Structure 1
């Protein structure tokens, strides 16, 4: 597996842990619909 260089100013796709909402943003910490935590889809979950 290859490490991905993430640019903090680049828009990424984020997914909500609570309701599954997907948004494209520079940074997303909370879901705009339900307020739950978001994760960057480019970062693997282990």
Structure 2
């Protein structure tokens, strides 16, 4: 995960599992702003 800043002061990157849109926010936005799909915190590995 080289494209994620390790010291982002509360701002985190979230990625949509359906369309791949990347969003930055201080808290979990809940749904993708582009398609309404599920999102994940990019710092959490996908198993």
TM norm structure 2: 0.71
Stretches of structure 2 that go unaligned for 5 or more consecutive residues are: 1-8
5+ residue gaps, structure 1, are 1-8
Based on CA coordinates, which of the two structures has the bigger radius of gyration?
1
Cα RMSD over matched residues?
A: 1.4
Question: If the length of structure 1 is used for normalisation, what is the TM-score?
Answer: 0.73
**Structure 1 stretches of 4+ moved >2 Å:** none
Q: Between Structure 1 and Structure 2, how many residues are aligned?
A: 38
